[in-house]
Amino acid sequence: MQAAEEALRIAEGTRYIFWAIHRVLPILAEACLWAEAVDRAEAVSVRMREHSQELDHRLGFCWADAIVCWKRGDPESAIDLMRQAADAASWPTLFGRRDCSTTSGGVLLFPP
């Protein structure tokens, strides 16, 4: 969990929010759940939702909601949410487009 927290600090510090949503926060959330640190997993869910809001990232919202469902002992709903997310396939695919490296709010979607 410490390594993921450090990676998150770097991602947020550089405003590489897409990486935080796509990689770091899900890894951190899973580590928290395995460690039975459910309060910490809940905090990760809140952070994921906040970052997903910045990018209108539907997959991030589903991940955040799935963490809460899992935490509350409802893994079936968590699985359904993840299936919905996979079906939506709504994450940005901007890699390789230099003209789209940041949003208007200065959120970095991928490294320059």
pLDDT digit string, tens, across residues 52-98:
888 887 778 887 888 778 778 888 988 888 787 777 654 454 444 44
Question: What's the pLDDT at 6?
Answer: 94
Tell me whether residue 99 is in a domain: no
Residue with tokens 């997993």: 41
Tell me whether residue 102 is in a domain: no
Total domain count for the chain?
A: 1
Tell me whether residue 62 is in a domain: yes
Distances from the Cα of 3 to the Cαs of 10, 41, 91, 92, 112, in angstroms?
A: 11, 15, 25, 26, 23
- Taking Cα atoms as reference points, which of 69, 27, 19 lies closest to residue 44? 27
Q: Which domain does 37 fall in, by range?
A: 2-90
Strand partners, 108: 102
Tell me whether residue 81 is in a domain: yes
Tell me whether residue 104 is in a domain: no
The model's pTM is: 0.67
Tell me whether residue 55 is in a domain: yes
8 A C-beta contact, residue 18 and residue 109: yes
Tell me whether residue 109 is in a domain: no
Residue with tokens 């395995």: 34
Tell me whether residue 105 is in a domain: no
Question: What's the pLDDT at 95?
Answer: 45
Q: Contacts from 36-41 at CB under 8 Å and sequence distance 24+?
A: 37/1, 38/71, 40/1, 41/67, 41/70, 41/71
